[in-house]
Amino acid sequence: MLSFLRKKLFEEVPIYSLVFTRVAFGGLMFYECFHYLFSPKNIIHNYFGVERFRFKFYGFSWVEPLPENLMFLLFYALLFLSFLIIIGAFYRIAIILFTIGFTYTFLIDRAFYLNHFYMAILYSALLCFMPANRYFSVDALLRPKIKSNFIHFWPVFLLRSQTEIILLYAGIVKLNYEWLVRFMPLKIWFAQGSSVSFIDYIFHLKYAPMLASYGTILLHLIGAPLLLWKPARIYVFLIYCCFHIINAITFNIGIFPYLTIAVTLIFFNPDWPMKLLKIGYSLKEKALNQLSNRKKNFILTLILLWILIQILLPLRCLLYPGNVLWNREGHSFSWRMKLENSSAKTDFLIIDQDSKEEWRVPDFYRRNPQTDCEPDMILQSAHHFRDIWVKEKGYKNISVYAFSLCSLNGRRPIIYINPTVDLAKEELGLHHYQWIMPFDQRLY
């Protein structure tokens, strides 16, 4: 099997679908950076310029935002780098610097984690190693020696594999009681309606949540594999386009639908852009430089390692006791999209064990609605208060307790954090947090 795979990966195929992926990715990133820079909501100031406590990804507590004027400068640089990616100028340097810069902005605040940012980072990282500038690029114009109509198949294979993993997991994670039986959280969201009258009418039909729940699952679990089958590919792709456009209209999920549509086109034959434009191409440039067996084996090993990591990372939630919908352990980086609608209210009680003085901090956690029912962020908040009282106010023996109520998918709110546990003494990490209260309602 490995021998067959190695042979397949180094077959010569047209470069055009990879070039389209480069241009589409660069274009979407250009739009995203432009939106950050010139949105009336003043996103850069509100996200990075305002002085406030920031939640951290585990292992990246050292990542801090630059001064606001430098953050603006960084996004102007990312805007320029994304333009270079589009036109294929200084491509290798541009895509590497863009990946580093965009990943940095992603790591600044855990509270603003979004799947489409994580997805963009993955594709950006993959494009760093792909020869996507050998055609329809400034690099190919300035350096004719690198120009080629053909590449090895492995970049196309790797992009297809990454996309297939994302689409399949988007369906697998929805095989739960909430989606299959309660049709949640779609019932909640559909009841809120849509600004588009036709979609709003559909949302209020009696069986719309049930049909949408099962339809979404079937689209991902059956449709994603069918993208690999040529006779069904175009029909599945068109269904995906409708699905993503409706999502884009209904939910505020940024560039995610359009990025997914763009990368899904990689499943079509590598020469599809030329056929669509009815442009012929020569087979004379098909011969590429031969790679040694050692180099082929090295590339094959890296590809298999990448795919293995992408398959295993979303499964890490199985290492924790309880249900990930409630405890949220292993939720991020797992393509667990649109699975629940949570609301929480968390107050903190701070006690100086020496003087027995008490302070109540009301609803600090709720100031950022994107941090609902996130135990690691509740713990970081508790540590933040501990540090304020110890380092700034001079107290030496501080305890912090959380009184947290969380409602999952419209259920009655129940206690989320054990209120008897001193969170000031609990350690942040990847281990299971035993102070998360068990879910006492039906949840499979």
How deeply is 442 buried, as exposed, middle or buried, from its count of CB atoms within 10 A (0-12, 13-18, 19+)? exposed
Give the model's pLDDT for residue 198: 85
The edge-to-edge listing of strands for the beta sheet with 342-352 is: 358-361, 342-352, 398-408, 414-415
Average pLDDT (257-268) is 96
Report the alpha-carbon distance of residue 79 to residue 82 in Å, rounded: 5
Report the alpha-carbon distance of residue 117 to residue 29 in Å, rounded: 10
Question: Phi and psi (nearest 5°) for 217?
Answer: -65, -45
Beta carbons within 8 Å of 58's beta carbon, 6+ residues apart: 376, 428, 429, 430
pLDDT band at 365 (very low <50, low <70, confident <90, very high): very low
Beta carbons within 8 Å of 405's beta carbon, 6+ residues apart: 344, 345, 346, 413, 414, 415, 416
Model pLDDT for residues 43-102, shown as the tens digit of each residue: 999 989 888 889 999 999 999 999 999 999 999 999 999 999 999 999 999 999 999 999
Give the model's pLDDT for residue 442: 65
Beta carbons within 8 Å of 415's beta carbon, 6+ residues apart: 404, 405, 437
Report the alpha-carbon distance of residue 269 to residue 403 in Å, rounded: 56
Give the model's pLDDT for residue 108: 96
Q: Are 127 and 21 in contact (CB under 8 A)?
A: yes
Q: Are 400 and 386 in contact (CB under 8 A)?
A: yes
Give the model's pLDDT for residue 219: 96
Report the alpha-carbon distance of residue 323 to residue 201 in Å, rounded: 34
Tokens of 360: 């109540």
How many Cα atoms are found within 13 Å in the side-chain-facing hemisphere of 211? 8
Average pLDDT taken over every residue of the chain: 91
Query: Taking 70 as the threshold, does the pLDDT of residue 370 lie above it?
Result: no
Average pLDDT (373-382) is 91
Sign of the alpha-carbon dihedral angle for 196, 202, 206, 212: negative
Give the model's pLDDT for residue 193: 84
Residue 70 vs residue 362, higher pLDDT? 70
Average pLDDT (225-231) is 96
Q: What percent of the chain has pLDDT over 90?
A: 75
Q: SS in 3 state form for the chain?
A: CHHHHHHHHCCEEECHHHHHHHHHHHHHHHHHHHHHHHCCCCHHHHHHHCCCCCCCCCCCCCCCCCCHHHHHHHHHHHHHHHHHHHHCCCHHHHHHHHHHHHHHHHHCCHHHCCHHHHHHHHHHHHHCCCCCCCCCCHHHHHCHHHCCCEEECHHHHHHHHHHHHHHHHHHHCCCCHHHHHHCCCHHHHHHCCCCCHHHHHHHCCCCHHHHHHHHHHHHHHHHHHHCCCHHHHHHHHHHHHHHHHHHHHHCCCCCHHHHHHHHHHHHCCCCHHHHHCCCCCCCCCCCCCCCCHHHHHHHHHHHHHHHHHHHHHHHHHHHCCCCHHHHCCCCCCCCCCCCCCEEEEEEEEEEECCCCCEEEECCCHHHCHHHCCCHHHHHHHHHHHHHHHHHHCCCCCEEEEEEEEEEECCCCCEECECCCCCHHHCCCCCCCCCCECCCCCCCC
Residue 218's alpha-carbon distances to 145, 167, 171, 222, 227, in angstroms, are 47, 11, 7, 5, 13
Tokens of 423: 């969170």
Model pLDDT for residues 162-221, shown as the tens digit of each residue: 999 999 999 999 999 999 999 999 999 999 888 788 888 888 899 999 999 999 999 999
Q: Are 443 and 326 in contact (CB under 8 A)?
A: yes
Q: Are 137 and 83 in contact (CB under 8 A)?
A: no
Give the model's pLDDT for residue 284: 59
Query: Taking 50 as the threshold, does the pLDDT of residue 366 lie above it?
Result: no
pLDDT band at 290 (very low <50, low <70, confident <90, very high): confident
Give the model's pLDDT for residue 285: 59
In sequence order, the β-bridge partners of residue 150 are 14
Give the model's pLDDT for residue 278: 83
Q: What percent of the chain has pLDDT over 70?
A: 96
Report the alpha-carbon distance of residue 406 to residue 236 in Å, rounded: 38
Which residue, among 444, 420, 418, 414, has the nearest Cα to 433 in the 3D structure? 418
Model pLDDT for residues 297-346, shown as the tens digit of each residue: 999 999 999 999 999 999 999 999 988 999 999 999 999 988 888 888 88
Beta carbons within 8 Å of 281's beta carbon, 6+ residues apart: 14, 16, 149, 271, 274
